């Protein structure tokens, strides 16, 4: 019987370690669901990026049209597909992507390398409500499917305006208000009242009469 105690102790320790590990993974998955609506950066990238490829191309074309060589900021850049697409379409553009997830930033940097645009695209860890850039730093700012995750959306929009140069433009694309109420971590207090002082907002995509996506625009 005495010889069994070390084995039992080892099994108990292993079980406790597995429980802690599982709890840690669960906590990270819940955090990521609140941050970007997926249980991990890898899952988000695998599912969302291919599905949104055409959408990102459309958004990138809109930004580079008439703005050759622009300095562009993407807030909430995620796995970096849009930031790299902008650089692909305009070889004179300089693009910065910001995100709160180190895992997303790692994937974004790797994607820029694979896309051959790493010399013109960089990614930084930053919260939308406190962007680490000087006033009037960018010709264009864009964010997609990110605003409804910002803890302080109004402050984030003020930051977007602050970093825009004169005659700069901002484009915000996000899910319709009703979808934020069912998405994990979605901010349910967004609406037209948030977009004041020069912002314009309109539905960008529908499924029949049901709005799916809106676009908000600002020119300073």
- Distance from C-alpha of 115 to C-alpha of 104, rounded to nearest angstrom: 16
The CATH number of residue 55's host domain is 3.40.50.150
Domain match, 28 and 60 both: no
Q: What is the mean pLDDT of residues 18-37?
A: 56
- Distance from C-alpha of 206 to C-alpha of 218, rounded to nearest angstrom: 22
Domain match, 98 and 73 both: yes
- Distance from C-alpha of 83 to C-alpha of 98, rounded to nearest angstrom: 10
What is the bridge-based pairing of β-strands 71-75 and 94-99? parallel
pLDDT at 24: 65
Helices then strands, counting H and E runs in the chain, come out as: 7, 7
Domain match, 62 and 94 both: yes
pLDDT at 211: 93
Domain match, 187 and 161 both: yes
- Distance from C-alpha of 38 to C-alpha of 14, rounded to nearest angstrom: 29
Domain match, 35 and 48 both: no
**Which whole-number Å values give the CA distances from 157 to 46, 61, 166, in the listed order?**
29, 23, 16
Parent domain of 20: 4-40
pLDDT at 21: 46
Say whether pLDDT at 128 is over 60.
yes
Alpha-carbon Rg for the chain in angstroms: 21
Domain match, 124 and 205 both: yes
- Distance from C-alpha of 133 to C-alpha of 131, rounded to nearest angstrom: 6
> Of the given ranges (125-129, 193-197, 208-212), which has the lowest mean pLDDT?
193-197
pLDDT at 1: 45
Domain match, 16 and 58 both: no
pLDDT at 47: 86
Domain match, 135 and 158 both: yes
Say whether pLDDT at 13 is over 70.
no
Tally of domains in the chain = 2
> In the block, which residue shows the tokens 């499917």?
145
> Of the given ranges (33-47, 71-85, 107-121), which has the lowest mean pLDDT?
33-47
Average pLDDT score, the chain: 86
In which band, very low, low, confident or very high, does the pLDDT at 2 lie, cut at 50, 70 and 90?
Answer: very low
């Amino acid at each position: 019987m005495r010889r069994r105690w070390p084995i039992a102790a080892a099994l108990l320790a292993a079980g406790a370690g597995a429980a802690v590990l599982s709890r840690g993974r669960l906590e990270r998955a819940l955090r990521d669901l609140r941050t970007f609506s997926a249980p991990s950066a890898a899952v988000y990238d695998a599912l969302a990026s291919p599905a949104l490829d055409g959408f990102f191309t459309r958004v990138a074309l809109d930004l580079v049209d008439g703005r050759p060589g622009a300095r562009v900021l993407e807030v909430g850049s995620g796995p970096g597909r849009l930031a790299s697409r902008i650089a692909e379409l305009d070889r004179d553009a300089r693009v910065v992507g910001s995100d709160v997830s180190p895992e997303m930033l790692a994937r974004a940097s790797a994607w820029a390398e694979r896309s051959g645009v790493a010399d013109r695209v960089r990614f930084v860890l930053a919260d939308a409500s406190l962007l680490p850039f000087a006033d009037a730093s960018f010709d264009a700012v864009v964010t997609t499917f990110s605003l409804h995750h910002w803890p302080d959306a109004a402050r984030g929009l003020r930051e977007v305006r602050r970093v825009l140069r004169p005659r700069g433009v901002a484009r915000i694309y996000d899910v319709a208000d009703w979808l934020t109420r069912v998405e994990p971590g979605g901010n349910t207090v967004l609406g037209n009242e948030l977009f004041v002082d020069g912002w314009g907002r309109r539905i960008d995509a529908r499924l029949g009469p049901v709005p799916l996506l809106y676009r908000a625009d600002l020119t300073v």
